Each structure stands twice: as C-alpha cells, then as structure tokens.
Amino acid sequence: MKLAILFGGASFEHEISIVSAITVKEKLSRFDLSFIFCDQDHKFYMIDGAKMKAVTFSRGEHRKMPQIVLTNGGFEQRGLFGSKKYEMPVLNLIHGGDGEDGSIASLMDFFNIPFIGPRKEASMLSFDKHYTKWLAASLGVKTLPYEILRKEDKRAVATAYPFIVKPARLGSSIGVSIVKEAAELDYALDVAFEFDNVLVIEPFIAGVKEYNLAGFSARGEITYSIVEEPQKADFLDFEKKYLDFSRSGNVAEASVSDTLVQQLRTAFKTIYTPLFEGALIRCDFFEIDGEVYLNEVNPIPGSMANYLFDDFSGCIQKLLGSLPDKKAIRVQYDYIHSISQAKGK
C-alpha cells in the first residue's frame, strides 16, 4: 500500500518533525513509502528513502533532490521534458505550525488529497491550548482552571504560586516553565513570549498522576492504545519529549484500575468524536482525586504515538481504509443560465 509521509514545516518543531518521520519510517516498513519534506520556505522535496537521516536536512542535502509542487490529487515533479505525478494518501507528520494549525489540512482538502491527520476545524481547536479549553468545557470534559496572559497585558497573574506557564500555540514543552515564586515570573514570561504572544497559566500540582491515551476511529469504532503513565520529573520537559519523539519500542502499560481506563476512554471519545475523524491523536490526562482532567490534545503526536500500539502498521492501514470523504461540489451554472434566459441573453 502506498503512503507518503509529509514532514518538516516552518515551525519551532521543525526538527522534531524530522525525528518523527525517521522513526515512523522504521515502523511502517510494510508500506510502499514516499517521503515529502516541506522546508522552512514552504518548498516541497521528494526525499530518497535511503537518505532519510537527520543530517540530510541539517546539511541542506535535501535541496539536491527533486522539488515537487501541489497539484489536484497529489504532488507533481515538473521538468523540461515532462512531469511526473505522485498520487497517494498522505500522513501529515508536520508538528506545530503548518501541520497542526490547519494549514496543511486546508491544502490537502483544496487539492483533493486523501490524508491522515486532523481536519481544519480540529486543528484550530487543538493547536491553541486556550481553544482546547473551550472545546473541553463545551463537551463536559474537565480541565484545570486557567488564565490567559497576552504580551500587551500588564504582567499580573492571579493564579496562586506555584503555577505553570505555557505558550498557547506550541507543543513539545517548548517555552514552558514552572514558576514557584514572584522572583521567577518575569524570566518565565520572557521565555514563553519568545515563542507566542498568548500564554496559558495553570496551577502546578506537584506529583499529579498523568496518563496518555492515543486512538483513532475507523468505520465508526474507536481503536484505543494502551494507557501510558509517562515517567517525568516535575513535568515532561523538551529534552524528555524530544527523546519520546524517537521512540519506536513499545512502552509498558500503566498499572491502573479498569475503572480509570474506562474514565480515560470515555473522556478521549468525548473529545475525539465531534472533530477528529481521519486522525490518530493522543490525549494527555491528569487524574486528581479519582477524576479525569484533560491536559492537552496532541493532534499529531510525536512519532504518531507508535509505541502505544501493538500493531502500529495495522492501525495506519485500518485508518487509511476509513478516511472521511469530502463531499464533491459540482458547479452547474444553473442560476446564471436561468438569469440569462430570462433576459434573453
């Protein structure tokens, strides 16, 4: 089965996307894979599978490979003596901006390219942590209390210390800080505002239980991964998450009760069902006093959370067989014709 992995993009998570693509390549060896790299200038390159190494991109060697452009139904390599078209479904593996903000989803829809990944609406509501809070609240899924701080606002925070500061539209724990006292606040805000103009501030709960659950819907049925309890210090910092992006071996299932597993699955399904059809996502949850709280939605999880599934390759094949159809609109010009006939023109 043919599949193109689309990775790169113009975002702070560009390098992480490269690591994810290299890892997923190993996990999907049964597929006939192509690799499409989007550079920071939004140029697309068809990458030789044998050259799928991090240094290929850090050294700029990808520029020697065929440049391709979007066309209806796929990508096209154009030359003086003709063109070559690549038509196959795409796995959107661009993390952060471009991949998770709805840009790639819009392009895939516009050019009628089938793809695995969040659609436009899902992207917009999961890319911004503030909007994710709204989504969860509208669906009855609990989240931690929070406040929003914008770059132009006065640096006054009402949340009691300690609290956690997060850029609203960034993943991989980039720009995230724990603020334990007032003397640490300005530095934490300076760091976070380097990456985003809007910040989410939440209470920091030391030692809180955290669980990850991934899944997808195919033919109306959700396939769930195992529940993982990530190993962390105060929180999953960038270095820890960066290593997670390259994980390909399966992780141990969390030792939790059947009741908690069901609570996590119910919350996951509630978040997934309205918007995320066609995507494999991971939700990160807190468990506090026996209740489940949504922490974040990862619409394109690192390395597609392959390590949480026994048969990741089978999951991707199953998802490919159940991608949502986009309703085709055929313009008939009936209205213009009727007006023209009425005017005798």
Range of the domain at 315: 123-143+206-320
Residue 255: the pLDDT is: 95
- Report the predicted TM-score, pTM, of the whole model to 2 decimal places: 0.91
Asked whether the beta carbons of 178 and 164 are under 8 A apart, the reply is yes
Same domain, 278 and 139: yes
Q: What share of the chain is helix, strand, coil (3-state, %, to 5)?
A: 35, 25, 40
Looking at the structure, do residues 248 and 133 belong to the same domain, yes or no?
yes
Pair (107, 12) in one structural domain:
yes
CATH number of domain containing 191 = 3.30.1490.20
Domain of 53, CATH number, reads 3.40.50.20
Q: Per the domain annotation, does 133 fall within a domain?
A: yes
Same domain, 166 and 181: yes
Nearest-10 crossing angle of helices 120-127, 103-110:
180
Residue 135 shares a structural domain with residue 275: yes
233 vs 176, 206, 230, 288, CA distance in Å?
14, 9, 10, 18
Which CATH number belongs to the domain containing residue 213 in this structure? 3.30.470.20
329 located within any domain: no
pLDDT for position 185: 96
Spell out the per-residue pLDDT of the chain, length 345, in tens: 999 999 999 998 999 999 999 999 999 999 999 999 999 999 999 999 999 999 999 999 999 999 999 999 999 999 888 899 999 999 999 999 899 999 999 999 999 999 999 999 999 999 999 999 999 999 999 999 999 999 999 999 999 999 999 999 987 678 899 999 999 999 999 999 999 999 999 999 999 999 999 999 999 999 999 999 997 655 545 455 445 555 667 788 999 999 999 999 999 999 999 999 999 999 999 999 999 999 999 999 999 999 999 999 999 999 999 999 888 888 889 889 888 777 765
Flag whether 333 is in a domain. Answer: no
Interatomic CA distance for residues 90 and 33, integer angstroms: 10
Domain contains 284: yes
Specify if 292 maps to a domain: yes
What pLDDT, on the 0 to 100 scale, is given for residue 227?
98
Structural domain includes residue 332:
no
Read off φ and ψ for residue 322, nearest 5 degrees: -140, 35
Q: Is 164 exposed, middle or buried (0-12, 13-18, 19+ CB in 10 A)?
A: buried
Distance, CA of 170 to CA of 226 (rounded, Å): 25
Is residue 47 located within the same domain as residue 66?
Answer: yes
Instruction: Give yes or no: residues 174 and 105 share one domain.
Output: no
Let me know whether 247 and 139 are in one domain: yes
Residues 287 and 268 in one domain: yes
**In-domain check, residue 63:** yes
Residue 20 shares a structural domain with residue 65: yes
In the chain, how many domains are there? Answer: 3
Is the separation of the CB atoms in 29 and 49 below 8 Å? no
Q: Are residues 106 and 155 in the same domain?
A: no
Q: Is residue 343 part of a domain?
A: no
Cα distance between residue 14 and residue 93, in whole Å: 10
Q: Are residues 138 and 221 in the same domain?
A: yes
Q: Can you give the pLDDT at residue 103?
A: 97
Write the DSSP string, 133-192: HHHHHHHT------EEEETTS-S---SPSSEEEEETT--TTTT-EEE-SGGGHHHHHHHH
